[in-house]
Amino acid sequence: MDASRMVRNSGDAGPSGGDNNATAHRISTNARHIPADVKREVWERDGGQCTYVSDSGRRCEERGLLEFDHMDPVALGGEASIERIRLRCRAHNQLEAELVFGAEFMRYKREEARLRKSAHGTA
Sequence spans of domains, the chain:
1-30, 31-119
More confident: 13 or 35: 35
Q: What is the mean pLDDT of residues 107-117?
A: 92
Q: Write the CA distances from 99 to 28, 42, 93, 96, integer angstroms.
A: 28, 23, 10, 5
Contact call for residues 52 and 89 (beta carbons, < 8 A): yes
Distance from the Cα of residue 74 to its chain's centroid: 10
Longest CA–CA separation in the chain, Å: 54
**pLDDT for position 8:** 29
Alpha helices of the chain — where are they, by DSSP H? 36-46, 90-101, 103-119
Q: How many angstroms separate the CA atoms of 9 and 82, rounded?
A: 12
Residue 10 pLDDT greater than 50, yes or no: no
Please state, rounded to an integer, the average pLDDT across all residues of the chain: 80
The model carries a pTM of 0.67
- Predicted pLDDT at 122: 59
CATH number of 31-119: 1.10.30
